[in-house]
Amino acid sequence: MCGIAGQARAGGAPVEEGLVGRMCAAQEHRGPDQRGLHLEEGIGLGIQRLRVIDLDTGDQPVASEDGSVVVVLNGEIYNYAELRQELLRRGHRLATKGDTEVIAHLYEEHGVECVQRLQGMFAFALWDRRRRRLFLARDRVGKKPLFYSLRDGVLSFASELQALLQDPEVPREVDPAAVDAYLAYGYVPAPASIFRGVAKLPPAHRLIYEHGSVAIERYWRLDYARKRRVEDVEELHEEIRAALRAAVARRMTADVPVGAFLSGGIDSSAVVAAMAEHSSQPVKTFSIGFADEALNELPRARLVAERFATDHHELVVEPDAVAMLPRLVRHYGEPFGDHSALPCFYLSQLAREHVTVALNGDGGDEGFAGYQRYSSNLLAARLEGLPSGLRRALGAAGTLAGPGADPRALRSRAQRFAGRLAGGRERRYLDQVQVFDAAARATLYTPELAAQVVPSAADEVLLGPWREASGAELLDQLLEIDAGVYLPGDLLPKIDISTMAYALEARSPLLDHELLELAASIPAAHKARGAQRKIALRGALRGWVPDEILDGRKQGFELPVARWLRGELAPFAREVLLDRASTERGWLRPEGVEAMLDEHAGGGADHGRKLWALLTLELWAQSELAAPPQREAVAA
């Protein structure tokens, strides 16, 4: 795991060595073990390396035998050993025992199509000296990030935004459309970034830079249209178990200590079960809990740890949001409103005290249909047969009921469900996943910001992929959208930034692309039906993972944000959101923000998620927009 950075200039113009060094220094927390630079006419590549595989000879950049191809890699190639043997048989001479060098030689064999042969999580930069070509690529699901900026034939890139901004030529003009998208979803979806002149390379894409021009191509996508026939459910369960075991085994290869995040949910428990089979020593597992028993999953995590005799470590935390929030903002580099990032930071800090690599359960919900919203959408779709007038009446009744103070309460969920019945399928899903819907955003914006925003643009983040979805069933369409938008936009940046802040490498077996392809091929009815979710995965794990885990209520990293914003966090939130700097920025109407704060404080509604998104946006603006172009490295 590492941080990469660099710049390419058309016509062979020199790249400043100090610039590449500053870009590396700004993300030293990602890879504190080694810094490497490669500079020649027209190109500068940099790497901050965290040594995980091939500790002695694997430092980067790495070149081919004749030096005509140079590579820097952030991530891991899990099938590098097989590829290495194949390349040796074809006459290549490899000087290291690691995975980065494999990319250089594979490129010599297959050109830019080499990315199709790679299994892993990666973002890499490859310089082809003969063609004067810079080749960037990102893994299939978007585990590893890559930001870039192209202007006047100059391409700069980096793993993190604050590293890219070390280049003073990169523009720092905020994109109003990105602010709008952020308030809709709580993150800025790719390919956009918060700045107009900066983009994210989307997952499963490659970028080819030659002679000052860029071409971007997609090289992989999940296909939900091709379905297998399930004649024997037990055979399907065995295939899932085999694919899971293989994915876990691939991710346990390391020359440093390896452990696992254990939440007590189905997905992380499945990963730990497979790790225990593969390991000759007790698996090191890490869990965090909260003083609030309603949010505490430690008892379930202990159950799994005992079942598989792990070397278990726990930490009970009462997160200090006031102290931690500015740090979160600095690490993410652009607004990020998922409050579960907070416990992820604490968990990463705990794990890094014992291991350098931690496996996790990310991807199980998006692959095998784990979210409650899938069930509610399937139920709403069944009710589409009701007369339209009756559906409108139910929706109106839900709207008149008003929002409940506790969004998790049955009354609140029923109210939201009824209110969505009148809309179409796409609109229902937008209502579920958006932080602020289009109407709420329009009410909140100043006339100046509203004039710079296309009201329907943020909705297109989901509606566009929905129109292009390959699946015929509603559930498959939802899974495809979440795997393509929500997963790489929210969940994967959350875990990447949280772990990399402590130089901890996170690996996600359930995001193995072959396992995801298997999940996509399973008929929808075998994944979710009625109130049942993760049907096929639960069946595959039955008898292997404790029943108490398989049949327990899904928890997730929930935080009492609503309570905090009515209690200890309330003065801080009011001070930040109504600060003179905030009101003079001209994005949000202060009276609208103040009304939300008052309504939430009075208990009339739960605006916790919305206020958290506004708070992180404003903290980001105060921290980043006032910063000079050349920045200090983010402190770990």
Tell me the C-alpha distance between 271 and 263, whole Å. 11
Q: Which residues of 57-95 are buried (b: 16+ CB within 10 A; e: fewer)?
A: ebbbbbbbeeeebbbbbbbbbbbbeebbebbeeeebebe
Cα angle: 230, vertex 233, 236; to 5 degrees: 75
Q: How far is CA 588 from CA 17, 116, 239, 442, 592, in A?
A: 41, 45, 52, 10, 8
Helix (H) or strand (E) holding 233: helix 233-250
Indicate the SS3 state at residue 223: coil
**HSE on the CB side for 307, CA within 13 Å?**
22
Asked if residues 510 and 361 have their Cβ atoms less than 8 Å apart, the reply is yes
Tell me the C-alpha distance between 487 and 476, whole Å. 15
Q: Which residues of 102-140 are buried (b: 16+ CB within 10 A; e: fewer)?
A: bbbbbbbeeebebbebbbbbbbbbbbbbeebbbbbbbbb
Asked if residues 118 and 108 have their Cβ atoms less than 8 Å apart, the reply is no
Tell me the C-alpha distance between 611 and 29, whole Å. 30
Tell me the C-alpha distance between 471 and 369, whole Å. 14
Check if 2 is active-site: yes
Beta-bridged to residue 158, according to DSSP, are 5, 147
What ranges in 251-320 are assigned the alpha helix state H?
266-278, 298-307
Tell me the C-alpha distance between 177 and 31, whole Å. 33
The residue type of 585 is R
Tell me the C-alpha distance between 246 and 241, whole Å. 9
Indicate the SS3 state at residue 506: strand
Cis peptide before 191 (omega within 30 of 0): yes
Q: Are strands 120-128 and 258-261 parallel, antiparallel or unpaired?
A: unpaired
Tell me the C-alpha distance between 477 and 473, whole Å. 6
Place of tokens 């085999």: 242
Place of tokens 């229902």: 428
Tell me the C-alpha distance between 479 and 341, whole Å. 23
N- to C-terminal Cα separation, the chain = 16
Indicate the SS3 state at residue 73: strand
Tell me the C-alpha distance between 616 and 332, whole Å. 10
Structure tokens at 7: 């710049």
Residues with catalytic roles: 2
